Amino acid sequence: MAAFLAAAKAGDVDELRRQLREDAALLAYCGAGTPDSVSGNSALHWASANGHEPAVALLLEARADPSARNNGDSTPLHSAALKNRASCARALVRASADPLLADEYGDSPLKLAERAQNLEVVAAMREASLGASPQAAPPSRSASDTSSGVRVGATAPSRRSADEHKESGNACFKAGQYDGAYAHYSAAMALLPAEDEGSGQAGAVEQRAALLSNRSGALAALERWDEAEADARAALERRPDWFKAHARLGAALEGRADLEGAVAAYEVAARLDGAGEVTSAALKRARAALRAARLEALLERNANANGAAAPERPPRAAAAHEPRTAKTPEQVAYATRVAAWQGAAKRGDVRALTELLAANAELLHNRSEDTAERLLGNTALHWAAAYGRVDAARWLLARRADPNGRNHGGSSPLHSACSHAQGEVVTLLLDDGADPACNDENGEDAHMAAARRGHMTAAGLLDRGTCVPAVRWSLRAKPLSAAEAKAAGNAAFARGGGAHRLAISHYTDALVLLADEAPGDGGADFGASAADAAAMLHSNRSGAHASLAHAVLALDDARRAVALRPDWAKGWSRVGAALHLARDWEGATEAYAHGLRLEPESAALRHALAEAEKQRARQLEAEAESGG
């Protein structure tokens, strides 16, 4: 098997083909039992990293997974991007590799290539993404089909749909990743049917108009004003009565300093929008800028009247297409400084943050004003939270960054952490006083942001809340005792359903209070030792977490319970239930069996063990059938 990876590293196509004829399963081999197991790279990773395009083509033809992850969650496209292998990157993207898929550090292939200034790879990825067409998937071939000289799997990787690209574009736009948004909106348009194909024509026209409008917004955020204007006008050709497209045109013209055109576009948008708040604000801003420009021109004419002749002015039609006014050196320096600050937060570069803040203390609360990311309005703490940069977030909070600061969408850093499943940052923010109840402009709190994306661990951490007493009791009423809090938790648990979220909060109250009470009275309120009392609370909270599909937190509490009471059968049943929820049938079987040895007469444990064993048998059977 090691010889297969060696052939991929060397780009030896003949040797790869020969070995694949003997064993197609080598496509998934990642170096187990060899030094290559440290990286976990597949043959496609190695061929991509070393720039062997013919080997990459062969492996993709043999149905190697272009989105396979190594031990650092990097894909073959990450390898090609980092090593500046443009032709390999192009082949991978055309085979459905995603340039925006993040590794364990939150870095996408596109981001790695841009950071390393591998511009040829950046161009190749964008060219391949935007050149996608809605082709039919190749016919599936059985494992015995050797028409290409290689045994292959059942199906080819599926191409992403236009709707999926649009949703990804919206997510990138919301996160301030405007290059990514542009790429996804463009890819989505490439996958739409032609507007003259007959059936469904109206729907296709509206879809394209929406994508053009969205892409115009991304281009405006990147200050690519001419392209933003072109997209806005193209959207208006398809939907002339759509207020948002008129607003996009206004933004593009405003960016190009065509203030009269911007005001005219915003006026139409405001009329069609029924004087909506956003369009009205944009119109007000553009009118104010136009008045200021006219006043400046008037003062200039008066000055010239008292001395020199007024300079000849170009006709309005020509002026409308002049390049926008160049930024002053001060504006350039400001934008560079802010970009460096926000970029350091995204990377988690504490040293750079320290140096930048020492030079300008105002950066701490900066929301990217007058920069390409001004529409989002994130602070550095928002970015550190979204990217899971724990050390950077801790450093920012220690310097009094606001854990409840809002961006222009009303989202707090806690929203950012929850939306991106950054559990450690969620805990850090809660401990610093972040308010889980605050809503963004859509009325969504952090728990809703986590739960609707399926980030159940982040949602469960919010249900627990902070365990720092001073912060916890500033946000909620303090129970009289741990026993009272436990009783409230039991009552909520008995009600079932959504009340289990309350049960988690009450059990956490009890655990926080128990930590204070135990040194003085040994947990006497519970009629048990402090360790037994804490074990019971962790067990109860584990059950509540499990009922809400918080698998990670349910297991965390269950393991804490058995660490405190190793001989407690119920604690082991909680461990089994949490592992069952995580579909770890082997682990669940072991936990239930351990509990049954402690309490042989337990019918519940016997039933749970039998179910886990049945599921484990099915899993082994499925693995055997698939050759796994």
Q: Evaluate whether residue 253 is within a structural domain.
A: yes
Reported confidence tier of residue 520, pLDDT bands at 50, 70, 90: very low
- What is the per-residue pLDDT for 158? 35
* pLDDT for res 96: 84
pLDDT of 371: 67
Q: Are residues 433 and 447 in the same domain?
A: yes
pLDDT given at position 133: 37
Mean pLDDT (whole number) for 249-257: 87
Minimum mean pLDDT range among 150-159, 406-415, 544-553: 150-159
Residue 153: which pLDDT band, with cuts at 50, 70 and 90?
very low
Query: Is 393 part of a structural domain of the chain?
Result: yes
Say whether pLDDT at 154 is over 50. Answer: no
- Average pLDDT for residues 63-72, to the nearest whole number? 87
Question: How confident is the model at residue 326, as a pLDDT?
Answer: 66
pLDDT at 588: 94
Residues 6+ away with beta carbon under 8 Å from 238: 195, 205, 206, 208, 209, 212
Verify that 276 and 405 share a domain, yes or no. Answer: no
Which amino acid is it at 187?
A: A
Q: Which of the residue ranges 194-203, 236-245, 449-458, 530-539 would you say has the lowest mean pLDDT?
A: 194-203
Task: State the helix-helix crossing angle for 2-10 and 13-22, rounded to 10 degrees.
Answer: 150
At residue 386, the pLDDT reads 92
For 484-508, what is each residue's pLDDT tens digit?
999 999 999 998 877 899 999 999 9
| Percentage above 70 pLDDT, the chain | 83
Q: Are residues 456 and 493 in the same domain?
A: no
Say if 570 falls within a structural domain.
yes
Exposure string of 318-333, with b = 16+ CB inside 10 Å and e = fewer, is eeeeeeeeeeeeeeee
Answer yes or no: is pLDDT of 400 > 80. Answer: yes
Same domain, residue pair 419 and 505: no
pLDDT band at 325 (very low <50, low <70, confident <90, very high): low
- 358 Cβ contact list (under 8 Å, min separation 6): none
Q: What is the pLDDT of residues 272-311, one digit of tens each?
A: 877 567 777 788 888 877 777 666 555 554 544 444 444 4
Least confident of 191-205, 494-508, 553-567: 191-205
Same domain, 579 and 522: yes
Residue 541 pLDDT > 60, yes or no? yes
- CA separation (Å) from 5 to 87, 194, 503? 20, 44, 52
In this structure, which amino acid lies at residue 523? G
Could you tell me the end-to-end alpha-carbon distance of the chain, in angstroms, rounded to an integer? 16
pLDDT at position 470 = 93
Is residue 118 located within the same domain as residue 14? yes
Residue 119's CATH number: 1.25.40.20
DSSP string of 165-220, one letter each residue: HHHHHHHHHHTT-HHHHHHHHHHHHHHSPPTTSSTTHHHHHHHHHHHHHHHHHHHH
Residue 296's pLDDT is what?
59
User: Does 314 fall in a domain?
Assistant: no
Most confident option among 59-63, 114-118, 133-137, 413-417: 413-417
Contact 456, 551 (CB under 8 A): yes
pLDDT on residue 489: 95
- Do residues 89 and 127 lie in contact, with contact meaning Cβ atoms separated by under 8 Å? no
Note down the domain range covering 262: 202-292
Residues ≥6 apart with Cβ < 8 Å to 550: 456, 457, 459, 460, 463
Q: What is the C-alpha to C-alpha distance for residues 7 and 19, in angstroms, rounded to an integer?
A: 9
pLDDT of residue 556: 96
pLDDT at residue number 275: 56
Q: Are residues 516 and 600 in the same domain?
A: yes
Model pTM above 0.75: no
Considering only 119-128, 296-305, 570-579, 598-607, which range has the smallest mean pLDDT? 296-305
Tell me, yes or no, whether 441 lies in a domain: yes
Check whether residue 491 and residue 604 sit in a common domain.
yes
Instruction: Note the pLDDT of residue 527.
Output: 47
Query: Given CA atoms 114, 119, 120, 123 in this order, what sign does their dihedral have?
Result: positive
Together in a domain, 484 and 380: no
Residues of the chain above pLDDT 90, percent? 41
Confidence label for 316 from pLDDT (cuts 50, 70 and 90): very low
pLDDT band at 408 (very low <50, low <70, confident <90, very high): confident
Of 453, 471, 489, the last residue of a domain is: 471
Q: 12 near 38, Cβ under 8 Å?
A: no
Same-domain status, 267 and 287: yes
Same domain, residue pair 461 and 588: no
189 lies in some domain? no
Summarize pLDDT for 450-484 with one digit per residue, the tens.
Answer: 888 888 999 999 999 999 999 999 989 999 999 99
pLDDT at 101 over 80: yes
Residue among 157, 148, 19 at smallest CA distance from 75: 157
- Across the chain, mean pLDDT equals 82
Range scoring the smallest mean pLDDT among 112-126, 147-161, 290-304: 147-161
What's the total number of domains in the chain? Answer: 4
Domain-ending residue, one of 471, 486, 504: 471
pLDDT at 320 over 50: no
598: in domain: yes
Of 130, 149, 177, the position where a domain reaches its end is 130
Looking at the structure, tell me whether residues 440 and 380 fall in a common domain.
yes
Asked whether residue 175 is assigned to any structural domain, the reply reads no
